[in-house]
A and B are shown apart, each in its own frame.
Chain A
Amino acid sequence: DAEITQSPRHKITETGRQVTLACHQTWNHNNMFWYRQDLGHGLRLIHYSYGVQDTNKGEVSDGYSVSRSNTEDLPLTLESAASSQTSVYFCASSTDHNHPLHFGNGTRLTVT
């Protein structure tokens, strides 16, 4: 069965470190997204991609970057982790705008 997987599920890192969160989908979806979820804010869009070599900034992109070298993967990199980036991160994919998002199980990141 097709799926979308995130790794790691949990990560603790120190302020200033570079961190990369992985997202891999086997749906063959062109659209991929990264959201973060925090109490009081809900899901907020970080970056997204509509296809290979395409990346776009979302609402809260500062301090994050993504790359899309193939259809299956959209890794999210925190250039220099900050305590404000402690959050739960969700990756999602979809066929197109009129189809629902399929979410990964999330990565809980703690920056100490």
Chain B
Amino acid sequence: GQNIDQPTEMTATEGAIVQINCTYQTSGFNGLFWYQQHAGEAPTFLSYNVLDGLEEKGRFSSFLSRSKGYSYLLLKELQMKDSASYLCAVPLAGNTPLVFGKGTRLSVIA
């Protein structure tokens, strides 16, 4: 979606930390979602932020700043299985369906 921007590709080393950024524009914020999608598979839910701040869930954390229209997904202790695309999604206005960013393809290398 043209209202959501993410980097196209990123590469990181096994065991390291990587931050995937997402900027968005909406006319009625109602939460931001992050999904993970392995090649050839369906997206799966990772996190949901509706308030400013950091939400931590194991090795994955997600941060939101509503005033800046900005979120990031933080992946710690990277594993090879974390190689996937990461999709940022928001409703463009209030209770409308999710619009997805084009996704960031993360490659974890040894």
Contacts and interface: CB of A to CB of B under 8 A. Distances in A.
A44 B102 CA distance: 9
* Most B CB within 10 A of own CB, among A59, A90, A98, A106: A98
A43 to B, nearest CB: 4
Contacts of A98: 30-31, 48, 50
B42 interface: yes
A105 B30 contact: no
A51 to B, nearest CB: 13
A59 to B, nearest CB: 8
Nearest to B42: A103
Interface in B5-39: 30-31, 33, 35
Interface string A74-101: 0000000000000000100000011011
Nearest to B96: A97
Interface residues on B, range: 20 to 34
B97 interface: yes
A43 B31 CA distance: 18
Given A48-B97, A98-B30, A100-B33, A40 B102 contact: yes
A48 B50 CA distance: 23
A103 B102 contact: no
Interface string A46-66: 001000000000110000000
B91 A97 contact: yes
B43 A103 contact: yes
Nearest to B48: A100
Interface of A: 33, 35, 40-45, 48, 58-59, 90, 97-98, 100-106
Given A90-B43, A106-B42, 12 more contacts: A33-B97, A43-B89, A45-B97, A45-B98, A45-B99, A59-B1, A97-B30, A101-B98, A103-B42, A103-B43, A104-B42, A106-B41
